[in-house]
């Protein structure tokens, strides 16, 4: 009974508690509801910058990332979710990477079921297609066909197909310089007249309706006929600069010589910069000839010569003529007296200028570097004729510094010039440049005024890097040597006057003697 009484009291309490609550709090309020949705997307990577889409066209086996989103995130309790491919289970992961191999149109769905029994879903569309196949070994006219008529129309035919048998094919057909069109059939007839004794190139690429192009392209060519017994030559001219990755527009000169090297024909062929330069020379009679190829505007490119023989009514296709630039740029120091290609010892200056000359490419195609003590100081691409070097402030001392200037042209020919930068502080005095003649004695001297108290060990006088006159421990700060004009050569003589100190440091100055022999 006590249990029953207690139970009755509990019921009463519960009733009283319920009666005291505000039942309006449990009524459905539409303004407080949350809209829930799911979405599916495809991407090539998880990067934030990767473009996401709901439809795409891919090759079989191309990898994609499939991504599911819940908006707002984590706002509902999920009972289960699944990805399906054409209604068949595809994955149980929320987001995953996978590929589809079967060609055709596919529907990929993300399906989510909540604990309340609601089902939410989103669908992606994926078209899988192999690229079309283009048979590039059998086509009309055959590659290199000769004596094609110039009038009456010329028919072209080839074969292409879709390996999946699901896509319509189109063909991009071009004849260089004449036509560029899209066809839906594997044949074409060109009705306009063609130039006689000319070399024509034509191309075909297959493209399916999904935008996938064939991996290969038909590259055909043919030669048109000329008058009775007329012939010609054709080919391409290429440059070593393009081999090095530096293209520029150029014009080539072609000269045709007979067997006695007499010039029969000469022409300038102009072209662009992105490909080899095509040429056609016609009409020529049957016989033996020599062709000379050159670049008048860029003489660093070596001429090429080809001997050939022509038969009647044929156009001879020569191999690609490759003109090579084998001459490196020249480097000259620009001083007060102009550019000097011989000098290798430079007086110290905050700014040094060099003339970089090259005749193998346009002036804008040179690259120049400056190295100070083997450390890169400056580098400029596409420089003009003048290259300027600004020396850092710490180079201003009584030490000599090694400066290397490296110039590279578009064909990767390279020149390296090594310069000695004389000390900014020069404390020795030597003879001033002078002229002399005949047979006589000459006195060479050095006066040392170094401010650091270095002790002189010896002095040397070197004439033309050949004769050396040395004096040890001269005493004091003056060193003199008497020699003869017999050691001089006619014209300019370079004298290097050197002081060597006991601490291993040396200091020198270079000057000149002009010598004339007596009659």
Instruction: Give 45-60 pLDDT, tens digit per residue.
Output: 877 677 889 999 899 9
How many other C-beta atoms can be found within 10 angstroms of the C-beta atom of residue 406? 17
Cβ 375 vs Cβ 408: under 8 Å = no
Question: So where are the chain's domains?
Answer: 35-128, 133-224, 230-323, 330-421, 428-516
Angle (nearest 5°) at CA 200 between 194 and 206: 115
Beta-bridge partner residues of 460: 470, 498
Does pLDDT of 28 surpass 60?
no
Spell out where 218-276 has E strands.
218-224, 230-239, 251-257, 263-270
Does pLDDT of 3 surpass 90?
no
**What pLDDT is attached to residue 363?**
65
**What pLDDT is attached to residue 335?**
85
| Residue 2 confidence class, pLDDT cut points 50, 70, 90 | very low
Percent of residues, the chain, with pLDDT higher than 90: 42
One-letter-per-residue 3-state SS of 285-300: ECEEEEEEEECCCCCC
Residue 316's contacts (CB-CB under 8 Å, 6 or more residues apart) are 231, 232, 233, 234, 308, 310
CA dihedral 500, 501, 506, 509 (to 10 degrees): -60
Does pLDDT of 10 surpass 60?
no
Cβ 293 vs Cβ 304: under 8 Å = yes
- For 197, what's the count of Cα atoms within 13 Å in the CB-facing half-sphere? 22
Average pLDDT over the chain, rounded to an integer = 85
Residue of 235, 291, 273, 271 lying closest to 361 (CA atoms): 273
**What pLDDT is attached to residue 8?**
32
Letter string b/e over residues 369-386, b meaning 16 or more CB atoms within 10 A of that residue's CB: bbbbeeeebeeeeebeee
| Residue 489 confidence class, pLDDT cut points 50, 70, 90 | very high
Best CATH choice for the domain 230-323 from the list 3.40.50.720, 2.60.40.10, 1.10.3720.10, 2.40.160.10: 2.60.40.10
Q: Which helix (H) or strand (E) holds 19?
A: helix 2-19
- Write down the CATH superfamily of domain 35-128: Immunoglobulins (2.60.40.10)
Two tokens at 253? 């000169």
Does pLDDT of 290 surpass 80?
yes
Residue 245's contacts (CB-CB under 8 Å, 6 or more residues apart) are none
**What pLDDT is attached to residue 364?**
66
Give the Å distances, CA to CA, from 213 to 122, 128, 172, 204, 236. 31, 14, 10, 11, 28
Give mean pLDDT, residues 438-448: 92
Give mean pLDDT, residues 276-286: 86
| Residue 35 confidence class, pLDDT cut points 50, 70, 90 | low
Does pLDDT of 275 surpass 80?
no
**What pLDDT is attached to residue 9?**
30
Q: How far apart are the C-alpha atoms of 92 and 363, rounded to whole Å?
A: 64
Does pLDDT of 27 surpass 50?
no
**What pLDDT is attached to residue 506?**
86
Q: How far apart are the C-alpha atoms of 22 and 215, rounded to whole Å?
A: 75
Give mean pLDDT, residues 250-270: 89
Handedness of CA 454, 456, 457, 463 (dihedral sign): positive
Pairing of strands 414-421, 315-317: unpaired
The DSSP secondary-structure symbol of 132 reads P
Cβ 429 vs Cβ 507: under 8 Å = no
- Write down the CATH superfamily of domain 330-421: Immunoglobulins (2.60.40.10)
| Residue 255 confidence class, pLDDT cut points 50, 70, 90 | very high
Beta-bridge partner residues of 320: none
Does pLDDT of 435 surpass 80?
yes
**What pLDDT is attached to residue 375?**
92
Two tokens at 494? 């370079």
The DSSP secondary-structure symbol of 27 reads S
| Residue 273 confidence class, pLDDT cut points 50, 70, 90 | low
Q: How far apart are the C-alpha atoms of 20 and 13, rounded to whole Å?
A: 11
Give mean pLDDT, residues 412-416: 92
Angle (nearest 5°) at CA 327 between 318 and 366: 105
Instruction: Give 188-228 pLDDT, tens digit per residue.
Output: 999 999 999 888 999 999 999 988 999 999 999 999 988 88
Instruction: Give 81-114 pLDDT, tens digit per residue.
Output: 999 999 999 999 988 999 999 998 999 999 988 8
Coil vs helix vs strand at 454: coil
**What pLDDT is attached to residue 244?**
59
Q: Which parts of 199-308 fold into alpha helices (H)?
A: 240-243
Say if 230-323 and 428-516 have the same CATH topology.
Answer: yes
Does pLDDT of 446 surpass 70?
yes
The DSSP secondary-structure symbol of 23 reads G
| Residue 12 confidence class, pLDDT cut points 50, 70, 90 | very low
**What pLDDT is attached to residue 169?**
94
Percent of residues, the chain, with pLDDT higher than 70: 90
**What pLDDT is attached to residue 5?**
32
**What pLDDT is attached to residue 205?**
96
Question: Any idea which residue has 């074409």 for tokens?
Answer: 188
| Residue 243 confidence class, pLDDT cut points 50, 70, 90 | low
Residue of 58, 55, 42, 219 lying closest to 131 (CA atoms): 58
Higher pLDDT residue, 6 or 222? 222
| Residue 466 confidence class, pLDDT cut points 50, 70, 90 | confident
Cis peptide bond upstream of 283, omega within 30: yes
Does pLDDT of 154 surpass 60?
yes
Instruction: Give 171-189 pLDDT, tens digit per residue.
Output: 999 999 999 999 999 999 9
Q: How far apart are the C-alpha atoms of 484 and 457, rounded to whole Å?
A: 24
Higher pLDDT residue, 410 or 443? 443
Best CATH choice for the domain 133-224 from the list 3.30.56.10, 3.40.50.2300, 3.40.630.30, 2.60.40.10: 2.60.40.10
Higher pLDDT residue, 22 or 496? 496
Instruction: Give 337-353 pLDDT, tens digit per residue.
Output: 778 777 788 888 889 99
Give mean pLDDT, residues 267-279: 79
Q: Does domain 428-516 have CATH number 1.10.760.10?
A: no
């Amino acid at each position: 009974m006590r249990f029953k009484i207690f139970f009755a009291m509990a019921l009463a309490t519960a009733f009283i508690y319920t009666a005291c609550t505000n039942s309006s709090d449990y009524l459905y309020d539409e303004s407080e509801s949350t809209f829930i949705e799911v979405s599916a997307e495809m991407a090539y990577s998880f990067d934030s910058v990767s473009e996401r889409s709901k439809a795409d066209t891919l090759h079989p086996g191309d990898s994609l990332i499939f991504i599911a989103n819940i908006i707002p995130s984590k706002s509902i309790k999920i009972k289960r979710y699944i990805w399906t491919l054409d209604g068949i289970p595809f994955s149980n992961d929320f987001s995953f990477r996978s590929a589809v191999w079967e060609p055709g149109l596919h529907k990929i769905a993300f399906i989510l079921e909540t604990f309340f029994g609601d089902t939410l879903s989103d669908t992606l569309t994926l078209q899988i297609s192999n690229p079309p196949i283009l048979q590039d070994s059998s086509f009309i006219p055959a590659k290199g066909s000769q004596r094609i008529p110039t009038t009456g129309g010329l028919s072209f035919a080839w074969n292409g197909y879709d390996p999946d048998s699901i896509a319509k094919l189109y063909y991009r057909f071009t004849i260089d310089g004449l036509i560029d069109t899209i066809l839906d059939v594997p044949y074409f007839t060109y009705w306009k007249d063609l130039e006689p004794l000319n070399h024509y190139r034509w191309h075909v690429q297959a493209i399916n309706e999904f935008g996938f192009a064939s991996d290969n392209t038909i590259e055909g060519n043919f030669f048109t006929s000329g008058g009775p017994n007329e012939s010609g030559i054709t080919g391409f001219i290429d440059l070593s600069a393009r081999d090095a990755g530096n293209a520029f527009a150029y014009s080539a000169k072609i000269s045709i010589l007979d067997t006695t090297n007499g010039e029969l024909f000469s022409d300038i062929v102009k072209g662009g910069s992105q490909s080899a330069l095509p040429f056609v020379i016609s009409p020529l009679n049957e016989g033996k000839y020599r062709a000379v190829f050159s670049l008048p505007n860029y003489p660093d490119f070596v001429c090429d010569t080809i001997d050939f023989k022509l038969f009647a009514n044929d156009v001879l296709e020569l191999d690609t003529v490759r003109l090579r630039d084998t001459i490196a740029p020249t480097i000259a120091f620009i001083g007060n007296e102009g550019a000097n290609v011989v000098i290798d010892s430079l007086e110290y200056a905050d700014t040094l200028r060099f003339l970089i000359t090259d005749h193998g490419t346009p002036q804008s195609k040179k690259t120049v570097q400056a190295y100070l003590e083997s450390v890169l100081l400056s580098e400029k691409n596409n420089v003009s004729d003048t290259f300027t070097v600004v020396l850092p402030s710490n180079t201003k001392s009584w030490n000599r510094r090694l400066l290397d200037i490296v110039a590279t042209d578009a064909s990767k020919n390279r020149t390296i010039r090594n310069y000695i930068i004389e000390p900014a502080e020069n404390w020795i005095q030597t003879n001033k440049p002078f002229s002399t003649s005949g047979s006589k004695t000459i006195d060479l001297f050095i006066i040392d005024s170094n401010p650091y108290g270095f002790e002189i060990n010896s002095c040397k006088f070197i004439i033309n890097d050949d004769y050396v006159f040395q004096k040890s421990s001269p005493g004091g700060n003056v060193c003199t040597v008497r020699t003869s004009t017999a050691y001089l050569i006619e014209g300019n003589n370079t004298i290097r006057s050197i002081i060597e100190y006991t601490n291993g440091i040396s200091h020198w100055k270079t000057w000149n003697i002009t010598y004339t022999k007596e009659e």
